[in-house]
Amino acid sequence: MTSGVGMDQTETTVMEALPSPVKYKRRWGRRLLKTILIVFLVLLLALTGLAWYGSTRVTRIPSDELTALSPYEGGPRNILLVGSDSRENLPKDLEGKVGKFAGERADVIMIFHVVPGEDLAQLISLPRDLKVDIPGEGTNRINAAYAFGGPDLLVRTVEKATGLPIHNYAELRFGGFAGFVDAVGGVPINFKYPARDAKSGLEVDDGNQRLNGFTALALVRSRQYQEKRDGEWVSVKANDLGRAGRQQRVLTALFSQVKDPATVLELAAIFDAMKDIRVDESFGFPAMAFTGVRILMIGTDGLEREVLAVDFSNEGGRSYVVAENPIAAIQLDNFGAGRSIEG
C-alpha cells in the first residue's frame, strides 16, 4: 500500500518535469517571432524578385543614343517623363480612335523627383507649346525637339530651357499608357460636370467615374475640353495649360491605383504593359526600385504638382506659351533645390 508521502513526492516530480506557464509562453512567443520573420523575408524576396522582373520588361535606350543625361551625384534625381503620341503598336481596341499622324511628338513633358530625406515628391509640367531654343534647330515649341532629334535632343532642350539637370528618362507611348491603365483596373476620377472632347474622343458623365485606358488617354490628350453646365456645353481650360493639369490629375490617380493591394492580382497584365515603357540604360534596377518604393511610401498626399507659369504669345501667326518670369524662374529654382513649388 502506497503511503500518502509517496504520492506527494510523485506528484511533485511530475510537476517539476512539466514546463512552467511562463517558459511555455516564452517559447511560443519566440516561435511566433521566427515565423513572422521568415514570412516577412519570403515576402520581401518575392517582391524584390517581382520588381526585378518588372524592370527587365521595360525597353532600354542605349547610352550612346542618349548622351545628354547628366550624371547623378546625389540630391533629387530628376526624371524626365515623356508621353509620346506615336501610334505604333496600338492595341486593336484603339486602332482608328486616336487619329492618324506619322512620326512621333512629345505629347506630355514632365520632370519628376523624390526629395531625399523627406516625405515629398514633386512634379512639374512643361506645356508642349512652350517657346524654347532647341540646340541646332532654333526657336520652336518644346515638343518639336523630340520630332527633330528624339529623346536625346529633348533632354538637351529641357536642360537648357529649365537650367535643371536631367538624370534619367522615361517614355510611354499612347498604346502603352492605355494598356497600363487597363492593367491596373482603370483610374478613378471625379467629374463635377459631364465632360467631352469631340477631337480626343472623351465623353464622360458627372460624378465618380473609373476610366478605362481609352477614356483616360482621351482625357490626357484633351485640348478642346468642354463641360455641360446648366444644360449648355462650355469650354473649360481648353488649352495647353488645362491639358497639363488634366495630365497631372490622371497621373496622380494612376499612382493611387497602383498602391491598391488588389493590383497584385493583375501582375501579368501590368508586366505585359511595361514592355511599352522606354527608359535610359543607366536607370537600373536599384534606382528604379528605390524610386518606386519611395513613391509608394509617400503616396499622393505627399506629391506636389505644378505647371510651369506661362503667358500666351502669338508671333508671326504662330501661337506659343512663354515662361512668365520671375514666377517661372522661382518655380524652377525651388524645384531644383527640393523646396516647395506650390505658390
pLDDT at 119: 85
Which uninterrupted H or E stretch holds 269? helix 267-273
Residue 58's pLDDT band, with cuts at 50, 70 and 90, is confident
Q: Greater confidence, 25 or 271?
A: 271
Q: What are the backbone angles phi and psi of residue 18, rounded to the nearest 5°?
A: -80, 145
pLDDT(23) > 70: no
Q: Half-sphere exposure (CA, 13 Å, Cβ side) for 278?
A: 17
pLDDT at 135: 96
pLDDT at 129: 92
Mean pLDDT of 1-21: 53
pLDDT(192) > 90: yes
Domain ranges of the chain: 4-50, 63-337
Angstrom distance (rounded) from CA 101 to CA 330: 37
Angstrom distance (rounded) from CA 181 to CA 150: 25
Residues 226-244 have pLDDT tens digits of 999 999 999 999 888 898 8
Asked whether 169 and 63 are in contact (CB, 8 A), the reply is no
- Close Cβ partners of 167 (under 8 Å, ≥ 6 residues apart): 69, 70, 71, 72, 77, 78, 79
Rounded to the nearest integer, the mean pLDDT of the chain is 80
Asked whether 288 and 280 are in contact (CB, 8 A), the reply is no
For the chain, first and last CA: distance in Å? 96
Angstrom distance (rounded) from CA 195 to CA 233: 8
Residues 138-182 have pLDDT tens digits of 999 999 999 899 999 999 999 999 999 999 999 987 777 888 888
CATH number listed for the domain at residues 63-337: 3.40.630.190
- Close Cβ partners of 311 (under 8 Å, ≥ 6 residues apart): 321, 322, 324
- Close Cβ partners of 328 (under 8 Å, ≥ 6 residues apart): 308, 309, 310
146 to 108, 135, 150: CA distances (angstroms): 11, 12, 4
pLDDT at 44: 47
Q: What are the backbone angles phi and psi of residue 194, rounded to the nearest 5°?
A: -60, 145
pLDDT at 46: 47
pTM, full prediction: 0.77
